[in-house]
A and B are shown apart, each in its own frame.
Chain A
Amino acid sequence: MPGWSNTHHPRWLLLPALLWMGLLFVVPLFIVLAVSFATRGTYGGIIWHFTLSNYIDLIHPLYGRILGQSLFFATMTTILCLLIGFPFAYYIARAPRRQQSVWLMLVLVPFWTNFLVRTYAWMLILRTEGLVNTFLLNWGVIDQPVQLLYTPFAVLLGLVYGYLPFMILPLYVACERLDPMLIDAASDLYASRVAVFRRVILPLAKPGVIAGSILVFIPTVGAFITPDLLGGARTMMIGNLIQHEYLVVRDWPLGSAVSFVLIGVVIILLTTYATGGRHLRLEEVTK
C-alpha cells in the first residue's frame, strides 16, 4: 500500500511522552532500588555504601506483621468488593442502554472525587461523637459510645468504600459482553439459578473478576490515606510504614527496601495477570 504510513502522524510525536515517563517514572523507581542497598547517614540522607542490611532488617517480626496485615486487608477488601460489586455490575449491565450510562456516571463520579475528603467523611460517621454512635445512643440501643473509628473494622470499611469502583468497572465490562441468550438457554435446559450463575455467568465474567481483583488489590495493599485516617496505631499498613520511614524516621534506605517489597508484590500480581491467558485489557476498563 503506497503512501499508507503517510496518513499517520509521525512517530516521533511519542518521544516527549516516553522521555518524560522514562525519566520521571522509570528512573526514580531504579533510584529507589539503588537506595534500598545503600546505608543510612547519621542525620538521615544516604551514604552510597552497598549493604543488604535493609532487607535483613525487614525480617524483624514487626515488619512481618505489618506486611501480613496489609496482605490481609487487601485480600478482605478484594473479596468484599467482589461480593458487593458483582450484583451491582450484573444489574447495571442488564439494564436498558440509556440507564446503563446513568448508573456508570453514578459510580464514576465518586471514583474521581477527592479520596482524602471521602475518607474523612467516614470519620464523621464513625467517631465516638459521630453519626452512628449518636444514633444508637438516642435510640437507646447502647448506653456507652462504641469505639468504631481507629479500628481494623473502620480501615476495612474505608478500603471497600474507596476501591469498590475499581471492581465494579471491569465487572461491568465483562457482564455487559455476556450474551443473555446463554442464560436463557441454560434456564430452558433446567439449570437451577445457582447452576446458571456458577456454570454460565461466572465463567464468562471471569476476566472481569480477575481484572477487578487486581485493580482493587494493588492499590489497597499500598494504601496510605485510609489506614492513616481511620486506623489506630496498631493497624499500620505498608503504605504507612513507607511514609513513616521516609518522612518521620528519615531512614530512606530502609523505606526504599520496604517500597521494593511492595513493588515485588505488585510485579508478581501483574505478571500473573499478564500471563494468565485471556484477560480484559486494563485500558478498556478505565475508559
Chain B
Amino acid sequence: MRRRWSWLCCATWTTILFLYLPIGVLILFSFNASRLSASWQGFTFDWYRLLANDRSLITAALNSCFIAVVSTGLALCLGVSGVLGLEGLRARQQDVIDSAIMLPLVIPEVMMGVALMLFFVTIRMPLTLATVIIGHVVFNVPLVMVIVRSRLKKLDRRLTEAARDLGASRWQVFRRVTEPLLRPAIVGAGLIAFTVSLDDFIVTFFVAGPGATTLPLKVYSMIKAGITPEINALSTMVVVASMSLVGLSLLLQRKFV
C-alpha cells in the first residue's frame, strides 16, 4: 500500500513540475543578461528597462485594461441577471440553458473569432476597440453565469423566502439577501473574467481593428518577429499579473464556500 502511494506521489509532483517549469524558465530568463544563448550570464533588469521606454506597449497595456474593465462589467451585469432569471424557469428548461451556455466555453476559440468577425463584416461594423469588447463579453457571460450559478445553487432558498414573507420587495431581497450571499462568487467571477479578457489572444486577433492593439496581440507580433529578451520580460509581467488575479479569485471563491 505504501509503495503505491509513493509512486502516485512522485507522479503528482512531476505533473506539477511540468505545469510550472515553463513559467519558471520564462521568469528566470527575463533576468538573464545574455541576449542570445540560454546560458546564465548574470542578473539584469535591462530588459524591463527597455520595455518601460516603449510607448506602443503602454498604449497596448492601456487598451487591454480598458477592454477588460468594460467587458467584465458588461458580462457581470448580463451574467448575474441571467443567473437570477434562470432560477425562475422549470427544471428542464434550466437544464437546457445550462448545457447551451457551456457551448461557448468548449468550442474552439478560432470558431468564435471567425464567426464574430464575419458577423461584424456582415453588419458593416468597423473593427475597433468596441468590437473587441463585444467579443470578450460573448465568452465572459457564460463564464460568469457558470461560476455564479454554482454558488446560487448552494444558497438556502429559505433565506429569500423569509425575506419575502417579511415584506421585502424583490429588489430589497436582491440587495439585502441574495447579492451579499453571492458576492464572493460575483467578485471571483469578475476577476476570472477580467483575467480571461486581459489574456485573450484568438478572439481579439480576429475582431481587433488596426488601432486596437492589445497586450497579447503585441506579444504575438513580437514573438513572430523573433525571440528577444524583451519578450521574456513582457511575458513575465503578463504571467505574474494574470497568476495573481487568478490566485486572488480562487482564494475568494474558496474562502466563502
* Most chain A beta carbons < 10 A, residue from B12, B108, B206, B216: B108
With A109-B246, A113-B242: A21-B199 Cβ-Cβ less than 8 Å: no
Residue A59 CB within 8 A of the other chain: no
30 contacts between A and B (CB under 8 A): A9-B84, A9-B178, A11-B89, A14-B81, A14-B86, A14-B97, A20-B141, A24-B119, A24-B135, A24-B137, A25-B138, A28-B116, A29-B115, A31-B115, A103-B12, A105-B247, A105-B254, A110-B20, A113-B195, A117-B238, A120-B231, A123-B223, A164-B15, A218-B107, A222-B108, A225-B201, A246-B117, A259-B110, A270-B103, A287-B150
179-211 of chain B: CB within 8 A of chain A: 192, 195-196, 199, 201-202, 205-206
Q: How far is the CB of B217 from chain A (nearest CB, A)?
A: 9
Residue B29 CB within 8 A of the other chain: yes
Q: Which residues of B contact A130 (CB under 8 A)?
A: 38
Residue B243 CB within 8 A of the other chain: yes
Q: How far is the CB of B184 from chain A (nearest CB, A)?
A: 13
* Chain B: CB-nearest residue to A12: B85
Is A108 in contact with B115, judged by CB distance below 8 angstroms? no
The contact size tier of chain A is: 35 or more
The contact size tier of chain B is: 35 or more
Q: How far is the CB of A94 from chain B (nearest CB, A)?
A: 8
Residue B106 CB within 8 A of the other chain: yes
With A20-B141, A88-B11, A114-B216: A7-B161 Cβ-Cβ less than 8 Å: yes
Q: How far is the CB of B112 from chain A (nearest CB, A)?
A: 7
* Chain A: CB-nearest residue to B89: A11
Interface 9-residue window, one of A50-58, A60-68, A202-210, A278-286: A278-286
Could you say which of A109, A113, A123, A164 contacts B227, with CB atoms under 8 Å apart?
Answer: A123
Residue B42 CB within 8 A of the other chain: no
Q: Which residues of A contact B26 (CB under 8 A)?
A: 117, 120-121, 124
Is B149 in contact with A122, judged by CB distance below 8 angstroms? no
Q: Which residues of A contact B16 (CB under 8 A)?
A: 106
Q: Which residues of B contact A287 (CB under 8 A)?
A: 146-147, 150
In angstroms, Cα B10 to Cα A87, docked, is 10
215-240 of chain A: CB within 8 A of chain B: 215, 218-219, 221-225, 229, 238-239
Question: Interface digits, A71-105 against B, CB 8 Å rule (1 contact, 0 not)?
Answer: 00000000000001101101110000000010101
Is A218 in contact with B108, judged by CB distance below 8 angstroms? yes
**Residues of B near any A CB (own CB < 8 A):** 4, 8-9, 11-12, 15-16, 18-23, 25-26, 29, 36-39, 77-79, 81-82, 84-89, 97-99, 101-112, 114-119, 122, 134-135, 137-138, 141-142, 145-147, 149-150, 157, 160-161, 164, 170, 173-174, 178, 192, 195-196, 199, 201-202, 205-206, 216, 219-220, 223, 227, 231-232, 235, 238-239, 242-243, 246-247, 249-251, 254
Q: A88-B12, A134-B38 are in contact. List 9 more A-B contacts (CB 8 A).
A: A14-B89, A113-B195, A116-B199, A117-B235, A120-B231, A124-B29, A239-B108, A283-B150, A286-B146
Q: How far is the CB of B107 from chain A (nearest CB, A)?
A: 6
Q: How far is the CB of A164 from chain B (nearest CB, A)?
A: 7
In angstroms, Cα B15 to Cα A164, docked, is 9
In angstroms, Cα B216 to Cα A262, docked, is 25
Is B199 in contact with A115, judged by CB distance below 8 angstroms? yes
Residue A255 CB within 8 A of the other chain: yes
Q: Which residues of B contact A87 (CB under 8 A)?
A: 8, 11-12, 15
Residue A131 CB within 8 A of the other chain: yes
1-57 of chain A: CB within 8 A of chain B: 3, 5-18, 20-21, 24-25, 27-29, 31-32, 35
Could you say which of A32, A114, A124, A266 contacts B118, with CB atoms under 8 Å apart?
Answer: A32
In angstroms, Cα B99 to Cα A281, docked, is 8
Q: Which residues of B contact A252 (CB under 8 A)?
A: 118
In angstroms, Cα B98 to Cα A284, docked, is 11
Q: Which residues of A contact B112 (CB under 8 A)?
A: 25, 28
With A17-B79, A88-B11: A222-B109 Cβ-Cβ less than 8 Å: yes
Is A112 in contact with B122, judged by CB distance below 8 angstroms? no
In angstroms, Cα B119 to Cα A32, docked, is 8
Is A8 in contact with B15, judged by CB distance below 8 angstroms? no
* Chain A: CB-nearest residue to B82: A17
Is A223 in contact with B108, judged by CB distance below 8 angstroms? yes
Q: How far is the CB of A8 from chain B (nearest CB, A)?
A: 4
Residue A125 CB within 8 A of the other chain: yes
Q: How far is the CB of A80 from chain B (nearest CB, A)?
A: 11
* Most chain B beta carbons < 10 A, residue from A20, A85, A108, A239: A20
Is A282 in contact with B106, judged by CB distance below 8 angstroms? yes
